[in-house]
Amino acid sequence: MGTIKQNRANNILTSGKLDATDGLNNNVPATNIANASLSSVTSYPPSAGAGVSSVASDPPSPNEGQMWFNTTSGALKQYVNYSAWASGGNLNTTRGEGAGAGTQTAGINIGGRLSPPTATRLANTEIYDGTSWTEVNDLNTARRHLAAATQGTSTASLVFGGDLNTGGPSFTANTESWDGTSWTEVNNLTIVKESGGGAGIQTAALSFGGDTDPEPAPTSNVQSWDGTSWTNTTSLNTARTLMMGGAGLQTAALAFGGGISSGLTNTETWNGSSWTEVNDLNTGRLYLSGAGLYDSALAIGGQSGPSFFANVEIWDGTNWTETSDLSAAKGKTSSAGSSSSAVSTGGATSPTVFVNATEEWTSGLITQTITAS
């Protein structure tokens, strides 16, 4: 066990007398206590609990690590950094390979397909209120492997590209805009493609990568949407497809993962004019989904060959770090939100099993009640 040293020099007044305020009360100035570490502590005196304040209500702006006892609720609480996934409301229609946008409490899930062997492409659209999903008006064109402007909202979204037919590849350049009530066909992508990434909002979006018809033909193609039409712009450094992850805005985006037959770790950032290779994902994967912005994002789930992943990684603008996993290994999910508050929905837990589960991600400093368990 380490040693805590008490230096009482500051308790002696210049007159040579003991300071009655501090010395007689056994108080020692904080500057007189040397730092030390403690180990193998088996008990502590009741007076050690005096450092935990008793309050009638929780502090409005606590500091990280702060602890207090709420006398009104009779609960011991602390303010800590917390990251975890929790179950949310199920989709009405079980599916995967769709697109997502919005937030954890106002999300939108778009298109996709049913589980094999039917594999029917879907036009279904559902809105999430943080508790449950509600069916709303369908897309005009049913499809899977479509991309969305990920920072769109449940009342203003944009989707583009995708695969139309169950009998074989048939890709589309169709773009549709959502006004909160219905979808409207707008100007097409400059080329047909599916399984690409997306970023931005309804009126200012970015489409990158994907697969062109006939497949496999991974592309590095990037297009920018100005609210009216698509324009080709600077290509990705690495061509890739199979539901690569995307996050961010039209002028500041992040592209990660995807691949051809096996998952890539490549990550690229977009500054509005060019793409730059940055630090890789820890786990290369296809069929992953993303949420967040170019400097703070999540890479969620995925697949490589026959293996499915529960892995979730968080991007801090420089590096990817492994964080709390999904409750189950799955790919082909639809995700939305931010790196601190996200939602991931549907997807596949095996090549033939799709799910309708929703998982909600919360990360950051929270007030937590301490319980015995």
Do 236 and 206 contact (CB within 8 A), yes or no?
no
Which residue would you say has higher pLDDT here, 224 or 34?
A: 224
Residue 195: alpha-carbon gap to chain centroid? 19
Instruction: List, in sequence order, every residue forming a beta bridge with 359; answer none if it has no partner.
Output: 87, 344
Q: How far is Cα 73 from Cα 118, in angstroms, rounded to an integer?
A: 54
Could you report the per-residue pLDDT of 200-231, keeping only the tens digit for each?
999 999 999 999 987 779 999 999 999 999 99
Q: What is the mean pLDDT of residues 48-61?
A: 80
Is residue 46 scored above 90 in pLDDT?
A: no
In the beta sheet, which residues pair with residue 69? 54, 76
Residue 67 forms beta bridges with which residues? 78
Give per-residue pLDDT as tens, 70-114: 999 989 999 988 899 999 999 999 999 999 999 999 999 999 999
Q: Distance between CA 147 and CA 334 in Å, rounded?
A: 10
Spatial separation of the C-alpha atoms in residues 236 and 239, rounded to whole Å: 6
Q: Which domains does the chain have, with CATH numbers?
A: 1-42 (no CATH), 83-364 (2.120.10.80)
β-strands 289-293, 358-369 pairing:
unpaired
Give bridge partners of residue 84 from the DSSP assignment: 362
Cα–Cα distances in angstroms (integers) from residue 174 to residues 2, 113, 226, in the given order: 68, 17, 16
**The 99-102 sheet, strands edge to edge:** 99-102, 107-110, 125-128, 133-136
